[in-house]
Structure 1
Amino acid sequence: MISEKQSFNRNLIVGILLAASFVTLLNQTLIIIAIPPIMNDFQIDPSQAQWLTTAFMLTNGILIPVTAFLIERFSSKHLLIAALSVFSIGTLIGAIAPSFSYLLVARIVQGMGAGIMMPLMQTVILTLFPPEKRGSAMGMVGLVTGFAPAIGPTLAGLLIVQFSWRSLFYTVLPVALIVLVLAFFLMKNVTQQKQVKIDIASVIFSTLGWGGLLYGFSIAGTAGWTSAQTLGAIGVGVVALAIFITRQLKLTQPMLEFRVFNSPMFLITTILSVFVFAIMVGTQTLLPIFAQDVADFTALESGLMLLPGALIMGFMSPITGKVFDKFGGKWLSVIGFSLITMALILYANLSLNASLIWIATIFTIMMIGVSMMMMPLMTAGINALPPHLIPHGTAMNNTIRMVGGSIGTATLISVMSYASLNTSLQQPKQAAMEGIQNAFMLASVLAVLGILLAFKLKSKKQ
């Protein structure tokens, strides 16, 4: 293993993987600002438009378990080239999409590529660095990948004001192709291959399980929480997921190793990661809708609104990584969730005439809290696992986080839509405002649960 690590340039490999991840994260944050103009172009409501975010994350969630198999079966280089190629095809489809259906397909194809890239990057980096240096390594990952969410909303605002939302896809495409060329010529294989087989039944039940749950939570806002369609979809998801989990526990080579949850630390950090991710993505989806459709800000202004918080998160990541390596994740998580809770309560009490600076200040407070947990929580969970379970732990963490984040975001949008449709207020903007306030109040309850659970973490790493 040592001789293998000496046969390639570790920094070069990490650089290529970070560049690939940067492209996918830039793509995700660009779309957040584009949702209101896309709603106007295709004449769709927020419940439909949020699928551009949730379908991308759900596809990630479905593909990530398969990625654990792919990482063991194929070389790092071939996987990265395949992922970037699929992502580029999806980006091209999005640029020329003639209808919302085509745009949704584009996001799903992009999600397939991104679903392979992110866990591949994390697995390789966690393999290259020893446990005592992983916090700092993942902190640097947070710094680089934090740059994409920082510039994404502002760049999207500029492009939408000058051109249209389609220009976002045309901007991402050449960057993805450049990284693809670099990967083809410079990427090396750094993982060990095994002769493992994919279980098709597991893929089917996994897709039905995660997909059924997300679809049910997504349509609840418009179809009603007690409708046959909503309950049926959630029911199918629960049953399929139960079959999937039971099957994984019986297989000698499971697609997703649920025994990683035998580690209490991994279980707690994964749950907390879901809370953080759901709150972050849900907030980033709600705020542009509020800014552009309720408060009448421009796309550029709503992008600038998210810029300070995203920059702070990126710059804080290396610092929190070093703090984690020294003290562990307990107090980072307690303080982080406390800041998030405060920000969400402030958002739940926003008024129609709230200033852009005030909204941006609250978002910055929230992102300081998020930066204290995003990378440290995952690192703490992975450090609690033996080396042979790292690919499965990474895949599990990403799967649960993505799917949980998707369901959390869909639930917040459903709450917003349901409250807006069933309010006694007559003015559309006031009705939308009440829906958004309800969604933020639900998110604050989730953050309080996060504070309570964070006290279960160890105060320093062992």
Structure 2
Amino acid sequence: MKKQIKTGPIMAALLVAGFVGLFSETSLNIALGELSQIFDVNVTTIQWLATGYFLTLGIFVPVTGILMQKFTTRQMFIASISLSIIGTILAAVAPAFGLLLAGRIIQAAGLAINLPLTQNVIFTIFPPNKRGGAMGIMGLVMLAGPALGPTLAGLILDTMSWHWIFWVTIPFLLFSFIFGYVYLPNVNEIRKVSIDVLSVILSTIGFGGIVYGVSVAGDFGWSSPAVYGTIIIGLIALIIFGIRQTTMENPMLNLKAFKYPLFVLGVIMSFITFFNMLSMLVILPMYMQMALLVTAFTAGLILLPGSLLNCLLAPIIGRLFDKYGPRAIITPGTILVAAGYAFYSQFGTDTAIWMVVVTHIVMMLGIGAVLASVQTNTLNSLPKQYYPDGIAITQTIQQVAGAIGIAIMVSILTSKQSSYLATVSNDLTQAAASGTSLVFTVGFILAIINFVLSLFLKKPNH
């Protein structure tokens, strides 16, 4: 069987689809201002085009863990690409905001199947000593998609209408569908698992409540009952969900993975990394547009060198991980990330563009070293039968971390801006700079915690 598996075309099919999904995750960020005018909705409502995407990922990824045991790899792949194509076409032709949001949610459901499926296939078709390299390439895609989204979307918006942000991805999805249909084998073992409806409802209320509560906090304020009420309901639902999983014979998410200390450590580091990275990808363009007064497309271009360098180095970092083990790669990475945040927190309205470019390069090098390596080490610490559960847990936590990170950091930014305008001066650019400085100080503290955690990492010994 192993001889017939063509790893190249399989990886191409899965990763192109993943890239399109992750590109779609951030590509609309730059167009949100324009779309709120076109559809005549306010800033908080338009933000749901981004938050709704993450929320769907947070809700669907845990369900994918059990679906991967119930359906074949090929069935899951075809479902994933079909959802992505339907969602993209619906968003591209959407005449009203509601339909555009619906298209985004269907797109995100496709990506929610693709991400765990890709990791599961990599961990099945590659031996342990090759996984770091393969996960490095997946890490490249996971970073290139969201990082290139704003640059390419800025270029599309400057030359064509916003609809093309969606239309441009259709040929890539069709390529992925054809390659996957031809080359992708069924690599998973099908088990007779029944989907526990109560578990699905509890995880949806749990993750949904927390992400929703945090997302509307910037608008309603943290003391609003709508905010803390939904967060508390979400936490209670998650606790009940967790207790239920430990008492079921065939749980939806097998929490036994948390018995392995290296897995727990990796999950915490992944949470911090995604919380920081995805919020930075939203806040940094805001800082450049509001405090440095550059255009959307220029902001995208400023972020390009760091993103491209990261893409080039991701496979090399993966191979170094296979050769030297986790601590040799991850600890230096966390130091670079912390250094990046230390510089960011000092930025003001008169910061030179080249400083932003250089700091972003340092930051992205650090994130590149941490991201895929932490994921690989986290999953390597589990026995094989826990891979689908481990993947579902880590992917869920990453998407939820991203959604919560964006919401909390945007909320910190807006409240600091408001207090600056109220108490210091009514200079909008200075207010934006002081808000982003506070956000990046918070990011710096989290980056330091990640550095300390990385010192406890080691190679799993089974």
User: Map of 1:90-239 to 2, 5 A cutoff?
Assistant: 90-149=87-146, 151-239=148-236
State how far apart, in whole Å, the 2-side matches of 1:105 and 1:438 are.
34
State how far apart, in whole Å, the 2-side matches of 1:327 and 1:58 are.
36
Alignment of 1:300 onto 2:297: yes
Q: Name the aligned partner's letter for residue 365 of structure 1.
A: V
1:254 paired residue among 224, 240, 251? 251
Task: Give CA deviations for 1:191-217 in whole Å, capped at 9, x if unaligned.
Answer: 221111111100100010011111111
Distance 1:334 1:223, change over 3 A: same
In the TM superposition, residue 326 of structure 1 has moved relative to its aligned partner by 2.4
Distance 1:312 1:50, change over 3 A: farther
Q: Name the aligned partner's letter for residue 62 of structure 1.
A: I
Check conservation: 1:219, 1:230, Cα contact below 8 A. yes
Task: Give CA deviations for 1:50-81 in whole Å, capped at 9, x if unaligned.
Answer: 43333212211211111111111111111111
Please, what TM-score do these two structures have when normalized by structure 1? 0.94
User: Map of 1:312-331 to 2, 5 A cutoff?
Assistant: 312-331=309-328
Identify the range of structure 1 (173-182 vs 264-273) with the bigger mean alpha-carbon deviation: 173-182
Q: Name the aligned partner's letter for residue 187 of structure 1.
A: L
In the TM superposition, residue 420 of structure 1 has moved relative to its aligned partner by 1.9
Identify the range of structure 1 (200-209 vs 39-48) with the bigger mean alpha-carbon deviation: 39-48
- Aligned residue in 2 for 1:435: 435
Check conservation: 1:343, 1:362, Cα contact below 8 A. yes
- Aligned residue in 2 for 1:414: 411
Q: Secondary structure of the residue that 1:165 maps to in structure 2? A: coil
Identify the range of structure 1 (86-95 vs 7-16) with the bigger mean alpha-carbon deviation: 7-16
- Aligned residue in 1 for 2:341: 344
User: Map of 1:355-366 to 2, 5 A cutoff?
Assistant: 355-366=352-363
Q: Name the aligned partner's letter for residue 439 of structure 2.
A: A
State how far apart, in whole Å, the 2-side matches of 1:34 and 1:349 are.
28
Q: Name the aligned partner's letter for residue 428 of structure 1.
A: L
In the TM superposition, residue 150 of structure 1 has moved relative to its aligned partner by 5.2
2:376 paired residue among 357, 373, 379? 379
Check conservation: 1:146, 1:311, Cα contact below 8 A. no
State how far apart, in whole Å, the 2-side matches of 1:287 and 1:332 are.
26
Alignment of 1:87 onto 2:84: yes
Q: Name the aligned partner's letter for residue 181 of structure 1.
A: I
In the TM superposition, residue 13 of structure 1 has moved relative to its aligned partner by 1.8
Q: Name the aligned partner's letter for residue 433 of structure 1.
A: A
Q: Name the aligned partner's letter for residue 359 of structure 1.
A: V
State how far apart, in whole Å, the 2-side matches of 1:461 and 1:387 are.
13
Task: Give CA deviations for 1:341-396 in whole Å, capped at 9, x if unaligned.
Answer: 22112222221233333212211111000011111101101111111111111111
In the TM superposition, residue 45 of structure 1 has moved relative to its aligned partner by 5.8
Q: Name the aligned partner's letter for residue 167 of structure 1.
A: W
Distance 1:428 1:96, change over 3 A: farther
- Aligned residue in 1 for 2:270: 273
Structure 1 runs of 4+ aligned residues shifted over 6 Å read: none
Task: Give CA deviations for 1:129-183 in whole Å, capped at 9, x if unaligned.
Answer: 1222211221233345544445433221211111232220111123223322333
Check conservation: 2:13, 2:177, Cα contact below 8 A. no
Check conservation: 1:76, 1:191, Cα contact below 8 A. yes
Check conservation: 2:18, 2:141, Cα contact below 8 A. no
Q: Name the aligned partner's letter for residue 377 of structure 1.
A: V
- Aligned residue in 1 for 2:452: 452
State how far apart, in whole Å, the 1-side matches of 2:191 and 2:64 are.
14
Check conservation: 1:150, 1:314, Cα contact below 8 A. no
Q: Name the aligned partner's letter for residue 228 of structure 2.
A: L
State percent identity of aligned pairs.
36
State how far apart, in whole Å, the 1-side matches of 2:351 and 2:33 are.
19
State how far apart, in whole Å, the 1-side matches of 2:29 and 2:221 are.
25
Distance 1:346 1:223, change over 3 A: same
State how far apart, in whole Å, the 1-side matches of 2:440 and 2:96 are.
31
Task: Give CA deviations for 1:304-352 in whole Å, capped at 9, x if unaligned.
Answer: 1111111121122122212222222224222222211221122222212
State how far apart, in whole Å, the 2-side matches of 1:9 and 1:102 are.
39
Q: Name the aligned partner's letter for residue 236 of structure 1.
A: I
Q: Name the aligned partner's letter for residue 209 of structure 1.
A: G
Q: Name the aligned partner's letter for residue 190 of structure 2.
A: Q
State how far apart, in whole Å, the 2-side matches of 1:298 and 1:192 are.
51
Check conservation: 1:158, 1:300, Cα contact below 8 A. yes
State how far apart, in whole Å, the 1-side matches of 2:238 and 2:217 are.
20
User: Map of 1:14-33 to 2, 5 A cutoff?
Assistant: 14-33=11-30
Check conservation: 1:46, 1:417, Cα contact below 8 A. no
State how far apart, in whole Å, the 2-side matches of 1:358 and 1:116 are.
39
* Runs (5+) with no aligned partner, structure 1: none
Distance 1:39 1:422, change over 3 A: farther
Please, what TM-score do these two structures have when normalized by structure 2? 0.94
Check conservation: 1:46, 1:413, Cα contact below 8 A. no
Task: Give CA deviations for 1:386-438 in whole Å, capped at 9, x if unaligned.
Answer: 11111111111101111122112211111112222233232333333322222
Q: Secondary structure of the residue that 1:373 maps to in structure 2? A: helix
State how far apart, in whole Å, the 2-side matches of 1:107 and 1:216 are.
20
Q: Secondary structure of the residue that 1:189 maps to in structure 2? A: coil
- Aligned residue in 2 for 1:370: 367
